[in-house]
Structure 1
Amino acid sequence: MKRKLAVGAVLSASAVLASAIQVSAGIAQAAPAPVGQSAAAHQRGELLALAGAQAPAAAKALGLSGQEQLVVKDAIVDADGSRHFRYERTLGGLPVLGGDLVVHQDAKGNVKGTDRAVKGAVAPASLTPKLTADQAVAKASGAVAATVGVAKDADEAALTSVTKAGSAQLVVWAASGTPRLAYRTTVEGVRADGTPSSQLIVTDAASGEVLSTHEQVQTAVGTGNGVFVGNVQLTTNLVSGSYQLKDTTRGGQYTTNLANKTSGKGTLYTDADNAWGTGTVSNGQSAAVDAQYGAAATWDFYKNTFGRAGIRGDGVGAYSRVHYGRNYVNAFWDDSCFCMTYGDGASNTHPLTELDVAGHEMSHGVTANTAGLNYSGESGGLNEATSDIFGTMVEFYANLPKDNPDYLIGELININGDGTPLRYMDKPSKDGGSADYWSSTVGSKDVHYSSGVANHFFYLLAEGSGAKTINGVSYNSPTSNGSTLTGIGRDKAAQVWYRALSVYMTSTTNYAGARTATLNAAKDLYGAGSTEYNAVAAAWSGVNVN
């Protein structure tokens, strides 16, 4: 649950905060960046350091107990100097899952408000576990093993084996209901289609009850139709007379050849003449061109649209691996390696390297490094929708002649075998499972189907309701209340969603909270009562979020 605190409640300790926060209104006038470090990275480092220095005072002002500490996760500064410090929380040294919050300040360091992932106290009845760490690992492993052969996620093949489990870490689970002492364990396995599985399992430290499961390897299932991006330019790196498929202008991101293996980083692609691939599947470099271009397009979209330097915002580029396994009909993003991986599809002749696959999957990394939306319930739907929204925006940003930009998800990979896309943003229910509108049961749907509400909201906000043709594709978007809506354009809609994600949403944000977050974002960007602000409110009403 998310609560926007009244300013008065937060400013009750404004004097305490002021002493810690009145540090230079000008991070812009900070010392020059050290040699070899960009000014942006230097500024971000100073901003994170400032947030860390203020953490004790902020914790006191927010009324947190002496056992609770705030740990900096992210920091954003607006053009007017306003700052937004995102913190994780610990209790007695234990991570608090659901304890994240964002502190909003003006340019002078005065607190304007706070968004919290959960309401109220986060302390459990006891910090002494009844189960040992080894028992917790056994409980977590057993819970995952019990799902072997069952595919609960529409985009995931069934788990076929559990390979190993890491050590159990004590945490406080406060994301739902009464806070509990818990263990967090990572259990690894393999799915039927060869996708690695890395599930984060949270179990009650007293009973072993499973409180939360989260698959950390995010996948997009489908079959491809060959090479997708066509003729594109690539930035490469010349070393000792040989070109590398490595882009030093975009955080050093690069592409490797796994050569049909399923582990390791792969071998960096090199070439003598800097002419990569032929556009045919038979040339192994062609899939690498798609992957490298997809990473570059995603980088450029976030950098040039939002000023975000890479997935983590730290200027470091992710890397891509192609030719994963054999006959692997899938692609996935993995936070643990900070990399994007693509299979070659059926008969090793249909690489899964479509552009919106890249944009979608890498946007999971952006969500993980901003709001950290829990991958279940309504927050899970918002997580998936964020990837659909920004994957679609990457496609529009690139505007490739061979991949016509549209509001269809996975339209080129022909996942259904009949030419239809995986998902539709204008009317999500056309896929046979997604929700067009919010209802009290949406949160119990698969996250790829509950995402329909936010996808539909974004389409209505960007393009409006009713029948229309965009880039040669026909759409006809309805509203739950019969209203007729006029869109504000996809670029403004994307700005609203990104600011809401990066500044206001937290790990437990639900659809009601997303409405509040996007309205706050629209107010910041365009003003309260503006056309854009009113359009956000109307679009949410159009999907029955009021």
Structure 2
Amino acid sequence: MNSKLKAGAVAVLAIAALTTPSAVNAATAPVDNPARAASAEPPVYAPPSAEARAQAVATANATLAARADLTLKGENEKFNLAANVSGVKGLQYLTYSRSYRGLRVHGGEVVVATDRFGERVGSVESGLQSRITIDVTSRVDAATASATARAQLPTVESVGTPELVVHATTTTPRLAWEVVVNGATQEAPSVLHVFVDALDGSIIESYDDVHAGTGNSYYNGNPVTIQTSGSSGSYSMTDTTRPGLRCGGQNGAVYTKSTDNWGNGSGTNLETACVDALYAAQKQWDMLRTWLGRNGVTGTGRSYPARVGLAAVNAYWNGSYTSFGRNSANTRQATPMDVVAHEYGHAIFQNSGSGGGGSGNESGGLNESTGDIYGALTEHYANQPATLDPPDYLVGEEVNLSGSGEIRNMYNPSAKGHPNCYSSSIPSTPVHSAAGPQNHWFYLLSEGTNPVGKPASTVCSGPTTLTGIGIQKAGQIFQSGLNTKTAPWTHAKARRATVSAAKSLFPGSCVEVNAVKAAWTAVNVPATSGEVACP
């Protein structure tokens, strides 16, 4: 309920000839439908009908069957539809998992994008880099793989059952055991996925579901309105209108009380921290729907719980819920709008395209930048006055975590010692710093180099003057590109995906396409094979 609070959201195939297996630059071409051509421009949030969703599945299935060359599919492999989400203007994105001789292929996912009617294919994205031709007989047993994985964390709470898979996020697919280890690093909780080579016992790669960030203040005004649930005498900080979203303490229990009046506006009060967390998450949900055409954090109408009271100068997403700590002075909880939206941004990243982005600092930096971008989008959507937390492109500017102001700067990452532009050193740059290039790209795409009333920004290459297209359009393009994400996610893939997204979203103009290209060029991410042209 709303509460006023005392505290501080079956087509005919005719795909044109293609040169790369990673992207389809021409669409399937069914018989022209005059009614379709004459239909009005859809609203941003326009979920496809059941008929259109079924049509998209039929179109995608037919495409995958007819064009195995696009996905490097062999005779021992099968595809299964794993997710079907819609985005801006009802465009559809279908993610398929891949199996090889009955084993799941990690990194073999395929994402097929169609128009909102499900009749035309916009792109086919596959992360697989070479065909799978391996033997599936393991020389390393599950117990040995489990012991190897367990040794990767200093503190271990539990170890999942090892699963034999094909690991395919690198150039050459390999047989591997995937082992999930729950525990903690020296700094934070950890849900670590470890891939152990099933032939020689070496570690191929690992990645952590826990993605850490830092905080802002609790200034959202007093009072604010949040969605809670319950009735007289029994209320809960559970938002039943946004399934999955609720807030409570570190033990996972939701806060409840006899009155529907929460928090006291204090920076140290945990109930107030939950007020701020719910307020920000609800604003982000509304932004996703109104601006980006997305149905919740998952894209399928769900969100995740928030926990406050973390005894650390930190905040993180662990794959199942967000958790928020405090600043180093212990005067403010880390639950302001951009920090909350950042952590839920990791959840959006996880629920877009093929799921994870792969291991390594480059994909990790893109994941961190994704959180920053959703923080900026949510702040701009909420559009709070200067007396609260006005929209900007700074991250954690009010928390003063360690006396040095904001944590990251999107229009000039180098102001915080982070790279403004892409280089060969990004794959070895710590992930929070490696967020710099994509953050800078997003600012240039949204605002340009010399926006009125906002900070100027420089370029690293290409034209020295760029004109922005506005943060709402930039967000639509970014999310639509993210919907086609495959592992390993790289800056080159992000460029190709967002250029393709711009053309699909704004087919009547090349302004947006060329702006996306120019902004990527400005941060030293050049065009690669398969990039769409406009016109």
Q: How do residues 152-171 of structure 1 correspond to structure 2 at under 5 angstroms?
A: 161-171=155-165
Deviations 1:376-403 (A, max 9, x none): 2433322221111111111111122311
Q: 1:181 aligns with which of 169, 175, 179?
A: 175
Shift of 1:8: 3.2
Identity of aligned residues (%): 35
2:51 and 2:247 mapped to 1: Cα distance?
32
> Which residue, out of 97, 100, 112, partners 2:106?
97
Corresponding residue of 1:498: 479
Give CA deviations for 1:66-86 in whole Å, capped at 9, x if unaligned: 321112233245788764322
In 2, Cα distance between the equivalents of 1:513 and 1:77? 21
Aligned to 1:409: 395
**Paired residues of 1:496 and 1:521 also in contact (CA < 8 A):** yes
TM-score after normalising by structure 1: 0.81
Contact kept, 8 Å, 1:59 with 1:69, in 2: the verdict is: no
Instruction: Indicate how the Cα distance of structure 1 residues 104 and 297 shifts in structure 2: closer, same or farther if over 3 A, else same.
Output: closer
What aligned pairs does 1:318-333 form with structure 2 within 5 A after superposition? 318-324=304-310, 327-333=311-317
> CA–CA distance in 2 between the matches of 1:381 and 1:516?
17
Kept in 1, the 8 Å contact 2:128–2:169? The answer is: yes
Measure the CA separation in 1 of the matches of 2:232 and 2:49. Answer: 34
What is the rounded CA distance, in whole Å, between the counterparts of 2:331 and 2:283 in structure 1? 24
For residues 116-155 of structure 1, the aligned pairs below 5 Å read 116-121=126-131, 123-142=132-151, 144-145=152-153, 148=154
Aligned partners of 2:160 and 2:90: how far apart in 1?
43
Matched, 1:199 2:192: yes
1:370 aligns with 2:375: no
Query: Alignment partner of 1:477: what SS?
Result: coil
Quote the Cα distance in structure 2 between the aligned partners of 1:82 and 1:283: 43
Where in structure 2 are the equivalents of 1:36-115 lying within 5 Å?
57-63=62-68, 64-77=73-86, 83-105=92-114, 107=117, 109=119, 111=121, 113-115=123-125
Q: Deviation at 1:304?
A: 1.4
Mapped to 1, the partners of 2:92 and 2:81 lie a distance apart of 13
The amino acid across from 1:537 in the alignment is K
Q: 1:108 to 1:526 in 2, by over 3 A?
A: closer
Distance 2:452 2:254 in 1: 47
Q: Please list every run of 5 or more consecutive structure 2 residues that lacks an aligned counterpart in the other structure.
A: 1-13, 20-26, 36-44, 527-535
**Contact map agreement 1:228 1:353 (CA 8 A) in 2:** no
Q: What letter matches 1:444 in structure 2?
A: S
Question: Which residue identity lines up with residue 196 of structure 1 in the other structure?
Answer: P
Matched with 1:36 is: none
Distance 1:254 1:105, change over 3 A: closer
2:241 to 249, 253, 258: 249
Bigger mean CA offset, 127-136 vs 521-530: 521-530
Shift of 1:494: 1.0
1:100, 1:7 → 2: CA distance? Answer: 23
Aligned match of 1:157: none
CA distance in 1, matches of 2:283, 2:351: 19
Equivalent residue, structure 2, for 1:464? 448
Contact in 2 for aligned 1:458/1:493 (Cα 8 Å): yes
Match of 2:266 in 1: 280
Q: Distance in 2 between matches of 1:102 and 1:514?
A: 14
Aligned to 2:296, the other structure's residue is in SS state coil
Cα gap change, 1:44/1:75 in structure 2, threshold over 3 Å: closer, same or farther? Answer: farther
Distance 1:356 1:77, change over 3 A: closer
1:377-392 mapped onto 2 (5 Å cutoff)? 377-392=361-376
Alpha-carbon contact 2:345-2:370 (below 8 Å) kept: yes
Are 1:351 and 2:333 matched, yes or no? yes
The SS at the match of 1:461 is helix
Q: Structure 1 stretch 314-323 or stretch 164-173: which is displaced more?
A: 314-323
Sort the Cα spacing of 1:346 and 1:182 in 2 relative to 1 into closer, same or farther, 3 A: same
Q: Which residue of 2 aligns with 1:423?
A: 408
Mapped pair 1:533 → 2:517: no
SS of the equivalent of 1:8 reads coil
1:178 Cα offset (Å): 0.9
Residue 489 of structure 1: how far off its partner (Å): 1.3
TM-score of the two chains, using structure 2 as the length reference = 0.82
Counterpart amino acid of 1:60? A
Compared CA separation, residues 45 and 163, structure 1 to 2 (3 A): farther
For the pair 1:489 / 2:470, whether they are aligned, the reply is yes
Match of 1:208 in 2: 201
Deviations 1:289-326 (A, max 9, x none): 111112211211111112212111222232212223xx
Are the equivalent residues in 2 in contact too, given 1:356–1:395 (CA < 8 A)? yes
Give SS of 2:109's match. strand
Q: Is 1:230 matched with 2:225?
A: no
State the number of aligned residues.
489
Q: How far apart are residue 253 of structure 1 and its match?
A: 2.1
Q: Distance in 1 between matches of 2:462 and 2:46?
A: 46
* Deviation sequence 1:141-192 (CA, Å, 0-9, x none): 22x14xx4xxxxxxxxxxxx23332121111111112110011111122244
| Bigger strand fraction | 1
Distance in 1 (alpha carbons) for counterparts of 2:88 and 2:254: 42
Q: Is the 8 A contact 2:107 2:168 kept in 1?
A: yes
Offset of residue 370 of structure 1: 0.9
SS at structure 2 position matched to 1:356: helix
Structure 1 pair 491/467, CA: closer, same or farther in 2 (3 Å)? closer
Structure 1 residues 121-148: Cα deviation after superposition (integer angstroms, max 9, x where no partner)? 1x24211111001111111122x14xx4
CA contact (8 A) 2:248 2:306 kept: yes
Q: Is the 8 A contact 2:469 2:512 kept in 1?
A: yes
Q: 1:266 to 1:105 in 2, by over 3 A?
A: closer
1:229 corresponds to which letter in structure 2?
N
Contact kept? 2:85, 2:94, Cα under 8 Å: yes
Per the TM alignment, residue 242 of structure 1 is displaced from its structure 2 partner at its CA by 2.6
Superposed CA RMSD? 3.3
CA-CA distance at 1:518 after TM superposition: 1.2
Matched, 1:311 2:309: no
The amino acid across from 1:279 in the alignment is G
